[in-house]
Amino acid sequence: MKQPLFSEYELYLFNEGRNFASYQTLGAHLVEYDGVWGVRFAVWAPHATAVKVVGEFNDWQGDNSPMSRQGESGVWALFIPGLIVGEIYKYAIDTAQGCLLKADPFAFFAEQRPKSASVVAELGSYCWQDADWRSQKRGQLLDKPVNIYEVHLGSWRLGPDGGMLSYRELARILPAYAADMGYTHLELMPLAEHPFDGSWGYQATGYYAVTSRYGSPQEFMEFVDACHARGLGVILDWVPGHFCNDGHGLKAFDGTPLFESDRPLRAENRQWGTTNFDFSRSEVWSFLISNALFWLDVYHIDGLRVDAVANLLYLDYAREPGDWEPNRYGGRENIEAIDFLRKLHEAVFARFPNALMIAEESTSWPLVTAPTFTGGLGFNYKWNMGWMNDMLLYMETDPLQRRWRHDKLTFSLMYAFSENFVLPLSHDEVVHGKKSLLDKMPGDYWQKFANLRAFYAYMIGHPGKKLLFMGGEFGQFIEWNEAQSLDWHLLSYDMHQKLHNYVSALNHYYLQQPCFWEKDAGWEGFEWINCEDSLHSIVSLLRRDSHNNVRLMIVNFTPVERLAYRIGVPLRGKYCEEFNSDSQEYGGSGLNNTGIIRSEPVPWDNWEQSVVITVPPLAAVVLAPMG
């Protein structure tokens, strides 16, 4: 007697928005059915009049491959015996408007662009080597160093033939490079299948299909495994807010609005030329929450950076008055999307308590990183876009004029502990005419590098986890272009190589010094020494670890050295210079504080003791107590 293709309970949970392993039910799966091996297909298309599986195996004619409706679930299913991994297929969906050819929303793999068919894939055959990594009790990393290297795999480095490197080729070089540079995590720009390279992956058609641009699912597993072997966590950019409009994708999937709202003002996303998900639909919850868990489960991803959260939270995001519909209470908040985010995090942390869930959220929405049971959204980190915008505006200002914008340097401490923050210098800041980080810096050639070194040091001293986009570590001079490699040849130039050495040294110093991360989430780990010296554009701060050890950082944002600069110190005794961004080995002028620096009983900066030091031009100095 034939067994049903699914349990009714699986489909019931999917319709209820509570099947968070729906990728095990829907899609194309190699299975044994009534003693015969083949592929079981399943797709959600509730408004279709008929659905067929078409592919090379039936000459793209589906008359012999009709799917059957599974009760009232809206799911159609078919088992085709004899099919194997690698078969290419689509769904032919009959609608009132005609037949649509659609890729499988749950496909695990797809053809390379510009082709768009789905590919039968089997994901359980890879032999993972990261059991030790997965078993570590890493917690939420609030009291650990987090230093993220953001990467676009297609343009980090190209092969000798000018083509993109594969996951396997990248696995041999990128994890080792990032670990040697002192990074703790790689953040990968989206790898869900997408048709257009220029979208950078943020407009997807295949949410469960790792892009075929760089190789197979198993090769991507090798890449993640290689990262874990080098002690690197892997964070993946994830886009649950909107999807690509291409015809083979999710839009009007069964001839009607299905994954999107049937209300055009809710569905249409004019800002990006995409379509928003409908979070009032329970099946969309099953689809997206399952997808988040899929990346964490199947590919051993360590966390997700959720893109464009403001687009989920606000119905009027990037819209003009009259171009949006209020919620049922007359407000601008997307109530259903807020509920979705909370359920997402409850589901993720129930299964993966050590996962990183990072919000790219650009507004002042409260409690983004607070637990859901306290009314928060449930993320454990949020990008600090305010710090990024203020700091870039400050750093782009002529140093002689910075005194008038001193508040841009210090204002972030007014809210630094309101959320668990990541300080991002991301890809968005080095494209579309914004210039590269190095080219944003004012001054002559030497001053550009000095400014950038001081900026990076201040970033390390400021509370919050750290993120830098690729190329920033060696001073990419031109804007990032996804169609070409980073300019690695710049490392043959002295100042670029010295900047590269500096970033590596600064990163490793950060990793080795608990004062800069052990108490990163509150005032007990940070204290201003002097944040009011706008005349000299100098700030001095103190960082403290859990054993009450301290480090003092002084940053001079002008090209004028201060040869007898006094700062208050918390302890009487001896100090030494532990780090100096102006060292000649980093391309600086070599103005150092050598030998022992003794405190004096001269009250300064609200402390009874103080020291007199040399503060180099456009540079950061770190002092450490001795004994």
Catalytic site positions: 307, 360
The DSSP secondary-structure symbol of 2 reads P
Query: What Cα–Cα distance (Å) separates residue 434 from each residue in 307, 393, 416, 427, 437?
Result: 20, 11, 26, 10, 9
| Phi, psi for residue 94 in degrees, rounded to 5 | -80, 125
In angstroms, rounded to a whole number, what is the distance separating the alpha carbons of residues 621 and 625? 13
Indicate if the alpha-carbon torsion angle 468, 469, 470, 471 is positive or negative: negative
237: helix, strand or coil: strand
In angstroms, rounded to a whole number, what is the distance separating the alpha carbons of residues 74 and 4? 16
Query: What Cα–Cα distance (Å) separates residue 453 from each residue in 320, 401, 475, 484, 506?
Result: 41, 19, 10, 26, 9
303 forms beta bridges with 235, 356
In angstroms, rounded to a whole number, what is the distance separating the alpha carbons of residues 439 and 574? 39
Indicate if the alpha-carbon torsion angle 600, 602, 605, 607 is positive or negative: positive
- The count of residues in the chain is 627
| Phi, psi for residue 611 in degrees, rounded to 5 | -130, 160
In angstroms, rounded to a whole number, what is the distance separating the alpha carbons of residues 589 and 554? 17
Indicate if the alpha-carbon torsion angle 209, 266, 235, 292 is positive or negative: negative
- Asked, as a colleague might, if the bond just before 114 is cis with ω within 30 of 0, I would say yes
